[in-house]
Amino acid sequence: MSVKETIQVDESQKGEPGVQEVITPIPVGNQIIKKATYWRSILQDDLNPEVTDGVSTVRFAVPAMVDEEYETEEMNEDGTKQIGIRQILDLKWYEADLGAENVARLQEAVKPFVAGARESEAPISKPARKKRAAK
């Protein structure tokens, strides 16, 4: 997340998206009083930092070759199978904070691929068959 600045806002904005409550302990005599303040992070476009209006976080995946561990047919001295590493095609997930203009540019760039694609359900977290390390 690209945060241009964080500004303090009034308590009346505490339930709005992007507003976080910060509890500050204040010593008063022998007691500690906790005071709540509210802060909003102003996002900036990751590609154009001057843009802060209408910026939203976009999540997308890109195909990438990654290392996958697998059990080989060869055996270790203790009788367990040896582990090998092979390259497989998988998805690598990204997030970018983009203003409306750059969201439109991203949509335009993937348009030919979307045109030839099938719609799919959102990804569901699934246990990996083997431990994968991005390369």
pTM of the model: 0.60
pLDDT value of position 126: 56
Q: Tokens in use for 122?
A: 């959102």
pLDDT value of position 122: 77
Asked if residues 66 and 92 have their Cβ atoms less than 8 Å apart, the reply is: yes
pLDDT value of position 15: 85
pLDDT value of position 1: 55
Q: State CA 18 to chain mean position distance.
A: 15
pLDDT value of position 7: 82
pLDDT value of position 135: 47
Q: What is the mean pLDDT for each group of 10 consecutive residues in the chain (135 residues)?
A: 75 85 91 91 89 91 94 92 94 94 97 94 65 51
pLDDT value of position 2: 63
Secondary structure element (H or E) that encloses residue 12, with its range: none
Spatial neighbors of 5 by CB under 8 A, at least 6 apart, are: 41, 42
